[in-house]
Amino acid sequence: MKDVVTNYDAAFGTHSAVIAIDEPGAEDRVYPGRVVARLVQQDPDSYRETAAFANAYPCDVINIQHEYGLFGGNDGEWIVDCIAQIRKPVVTSLHTVLPDPSAEHLRVARALCATSSGVVVLSETGRDILIDRYGVAPHKIRVVPHGVPDVPFRESAGEKKRLGLEGRMTISTFGLINRGKGLEYAIEAMNAVVAQHPEALYLILGQTHPVIRRREGESYRRELEAEIAANKLDDHVLLVDKYLDFDELLSYLTATDIYLTPYLNPTQIVSGTLAYAVGCGKAIVSTPYLYAQELLAHGRGFLVPARDGSAIATTLVALLDDPALRESTERRAYRYGRRMTWPNVAQAYGHVFADLLPVSAHSALATPA
């Protein structure tokens, strides 16, 4: 959300305001000055108050960055009532579109789309699902891709030296860790990879998801560590247990030769980590969840079956064996990723908002997120 607002303001000279969401326990959180109001997640009265605030605030368009779990009520239905009370155009950006929703989820999602003035999805696949399975009118839906940093195409050698990874062929996965990431299959694959490429190093970058940590502690990470030790892969698989800021993330991505997403959920419609890897021009190996199928089509990456360490290994070795194949794949990914850079995403949002306004100027943007 921060990147959307920052780049939108840079593109259009606006000063967007933000309505933040306070989940339970976040009452004492301190926000920057851009945050002009707070929606209390589990307080139904707060949704009415937020609608009244949005009506009175000097802005022309409200953009809701929507994710299930952020809003109160069954399947987040309280935000639907909030939108219904706002007397300005509301554009709802759906970060999740379930291909096979439950009846209750479908009811709420349809109401959300019907109440919103416009709906943004982050992929063409998401648009097709909304039309075919949710019955949303095509004219109401716009595709704005997941944003990525606008960085130059760079080889990995320089950043490897800076990170102390010289002489290694680096494979990486980043993001919050949970069992749905399928990391155990990637670790399994490293046995066969290392047999042919002893210089290979697999970096698993990121902390355990905070919800998972509260529920089960670090049990999954401990299991991964045990698997690494049992397979004598300590010199070839590294768990980097830390939150990566933007510069650190770009540094590791630049140093990466192959980016890997071995995710288990076949219906995943968006992945910010995959989007970033495409935007940075990485050679990518992924399981065939919906978003990966779309982003990696036409030779922009390689798909392997989920839960199949052998297939992962075979594809990784093929890329490590063939620098020319790796580079051509990187170039195709990078070219495609140019349309996804944050400045282009900001322009796309500008077109969406302008289509809903009686005049082309829009003075401010309130973004609950």
Residues 323, 231 share a domain: yes
Task: Classify residue 97: in a domain, yes or no.
Answer: yes
Domain count, the chain: 2
Residues 204, 124 share a domain: no
Output the domain CATH number for residue 67.
Answer: 3.40.50.2000
Distances (CA, A) of 123 to 126, 268, 291: 5, 11, 7
Task: Classify residue 316: in a domain, yes or no.
Answer: yes
**pLDDT per residue of the chain (369 residues) written in tens, 0 to 9:** 789 999 999 999 999 999 999 988 888 899 999 999 999 999 999 999 999 999 999 999 999 999 988 999 999 999 999 999 999 999 999 999 999 999 999 999 999 999 999 999 999 999 999 999 999 999 999 999 999 999 999 989 999 999 999 999 999 999 999 999 999 999 999 999 999 999 999 999 999 988 889 899 999 999 999 999 999 999 999 999 998 999 999 999 999 999 999 999 999 999 999 999 999 999 999 999 999 999 999 999 999 999 999 999 999 999 999 999 999 999 999 999 999 999 999 999 999 999 998 654 444 444 454
Q: Residue 169: phi, psi to the nearest 5?
A: -95, 115
What pLDDT, on a 0 to 100 scale, did the predictor assign at position 359? Answer: 53
Residues 130, 13 share a domain: yes
The residues near 329 (Cβ < 8 Å, ≥ 6 apart) are 283, 284, 299, 300, 301, 302, 319
**Distance separating alpha carbons of residues 119 and 322, to the nearest angstrom:** 43
What pLDDT, on a 0 to 100 scale, did the predictor assign at position 369? Answer: 44
What pLDDT, on a 0 to 100 scale, did the predictor assign at position 51? Answer: 98
What pLDDT, on a 0 to 100 scale, did the predictor assign at position 148? Answer: 97
Residues 45, 142 share a domain: yes
Q: Which amino acid is at 42?
A: Q
What pLDDT, on a 0 to 100 scale, did the predictor assign at position 364? Answer: 46
Residues 198, 115 share a domain: no
Residues 46, 29 share a domain: yes
Task: Classify residue 123: in a domain, yes or no.
Answer: yes
Q: Which domain holds residue 185?
A: 157-338
The DSSP bridge partners found for residue 99 are none
DSSP letters, 140-208, are GEEE-PPPB-------SHHHHHHHT-TT-EEEEEES-B-GGG-HHHHHHHHHHHHHH-TTEEEEEESPB
Residues 61, 86 share a domain: yes
